[in-house]
Structure 1
Amino acid sequence: MSRNPLLEQVRSSFQRSRSLNAGPSLQPNRVISEIQNRLERELATAKEQAIATFEGLAIHTDLPSSSPSNSESSSDQKEEEEMAANEFMGDLDIPTIPASPSSILLPTAARNYELKSSHLNMLPSFYGLPNEDPLTHIKDIFNAVSSFPLTGVTEDQLRMRVFPYTLKDKAKYWLNSLKPSSLTTWGAIQKKFLEKYFSTQKTDMLRDKILLFAQQDDESFCEAWERFNGLLNQCPHHGIPLKLQMRMFYKGLTPSSHNIVTNFAGGSYKTKTPEETYELFEEIAMETQHTDTRGKRIAGGSNDSSSVQISKLEQKLDALLALNSRNPSKEVCSICETHDHPTISCPLGAAYPEFVQEQAKLVNSYNRGPINDPYSQSYNPGWRNHPNFLWRNTQNQANPSSLQRPQQS
């Protein structure tokens, strides 16, 4: 039976100390401290040897080392050193692409799903424009994916697969700018998309339209009810309870629509619950959708229309006054053809007395006004000898015999 050398050393040291303690001149505390120090050194040496032996066995048997973090860090450090050794200055001009540049991390079942061209043609498109409705786009994706065959995938996984194909232009650029592999579920994609394109200002605007709803002039009850429900669908997160919704809708109706509600309710609608009030409005909308009953507001609608008509009449009156206030066009001199003076006052009138006399006659006849002769302002007796107003053939006057019939033989 082999003995432990460490125990043998401790036993021999203890026996030596006993023999030494037999003498009166030695101090027992000093001997004990020396033994304790020696034992601590022996234990530390034995521990280091045991660790070295265990690491050697792990290397030969491919067992995990006692410090896995150190080994992993050393392997990463080696890879970095190798990459640094292979770097060149031209690498700064080449862009680096991550292993998975897409922001959507698809599961294996979704990646293996085969998308056909007929599936892609059924998908909606979103360009990221201000007039587009992101909530409607999400609903269209739900409707399109519900018609796809499910072969080993869920609808959420299929929506994740087709979502990048629905984005165009600015919206597609936004999706590519997100962190790679940051979206792992359809809920995360939907939330990120609505946070980007369904702004807080749009939510506040739609909520204000619901709270301040008013039936328009010449709008039937059915049209007003459809428009109100459309506002609720455009902002499903409005947070307005059903009781307040019914109150806001009834408050915005015209007096004629109030009478319709009272007749259908058989009295006041205030005795009904919010659910019963909703059913009442639905019934009224169904009954009045094919009628042409349209009510106008007494307080604001008629006054607004009359004010618009008055403003238009004022504009027309101003235009007529502006036409009447224009300066009359000045007479053009028939001799000089200028606007500086009339024909009668022309300084060259002495050389052309006939023009001056004719102009004076016209002015006098215009100032005298109408006489008994109805043609006094349009007929000039002096024109009766004008060659253009004669009925005789002046061109053949030199040869009057040409107009005579030849004599019979």
Structure 2
Amino acid sequence: MRKITVAQVITGFASAEGAGGSALFGIEVARALDKSRFRPILCGIHRFNAPSEQRWLKTLADEGIETRIMVQERSKLRYDMVRFSALLNQLIQAQAVDIIHTHVERVEFFISLQKLLHPSHYPKLVRTIHVNAMWVTRPLVRRLMNIVYTQLFGEEIAISQATKTMLDQRMAAKVFGRSASLIQNSLPLARLQKFDLPKQHQRFSPPRFLVIGRLEIQKAQDIFIQAAALVLQQYPEAEFWLAGEGTQEANFRQLTANLAIEHAVKFLGPRGDIPEVLSQVDVLVSTSRWEGFATVILEAMAARTPVIATDIGGNNEQIVDGENGRLVASENPSAVADAMIWMLEHPQATALMAQRGYEWGQQFTMERTAAQYGELYERLLREQKYRP
């Protein structure tokens, strides 16, 4: 029986240096698909020339998974997307692609145009929405794209219930009778097990707090830094680590200097050893302004590291406040600082939360997620009635 060829579109293969969590998720889905039924082709939009990119390309080649880097040198975004679309069309024709599965919203407009131009022989389209925010600064574009997405994509997949609710409440979805599927984020079982490392120092001596993620407005490390200044007033020996890189790094460093807490804040840069980093800290803090279903929270739970996260869509599906972590108001440094101090002053309750988080997070395996995607791909191709 002919295998189903699925082209997974991701930002790139530099998972530790800027491609982001959605790219890593796309890579892991491709790795976990049943290779007796599916032939995945991973299509990275850009080349990053980064160490993790080279590691992933070698790993995937060793596993027999085909990869493509579509745009070798970056230019203006719209030109890159046009070049990407042309190269993707060549791939579709050469490799008889059955399904295009995108994890990158900014490329979906251009893929939609190709679907409009070639409706009869263009592959089925699937999109996974990784954040609960689409075209938030351009409401008119958002309304237009919602119509396009509901008509041209065979499936829209939400990674959290909050994102699914947002998708299903769109006017276009109601008019055209469309409902998004829900397939939550997860981690490969082998990767989950790598996080379960013994702590490398006595808990809370000294206190170490960690935030992981791209240094961008979305991740709100500015809130983390402001909270750090408040905690230091009571616990001057505390340390605050930021793992990641991004466009806001200079601004965050300046904020640290303005608050005179440079001695306590460490910018770790991009890290490919997150399990080891988590084993060296006491609490993982997620101050994001918006999220889908944060993988970093699953990673912290797998490491038995207590979690503080903002009470936003996705996060509040992973954490029950006071049970397996703490939820705090977003955009509120004082609330974050209070939760940090609470964990310092309640070590036994905090350890119990971490254990409950570990037990709860074990259900989210990539093997289960890939099986759900496989069923979705097969169903999409089996459908007899016309759907794009």
TM over 0.5: no
TM-score using structure 1 length: 0.20
Q: TM-score, normalised by structure 2?
A: 0.21
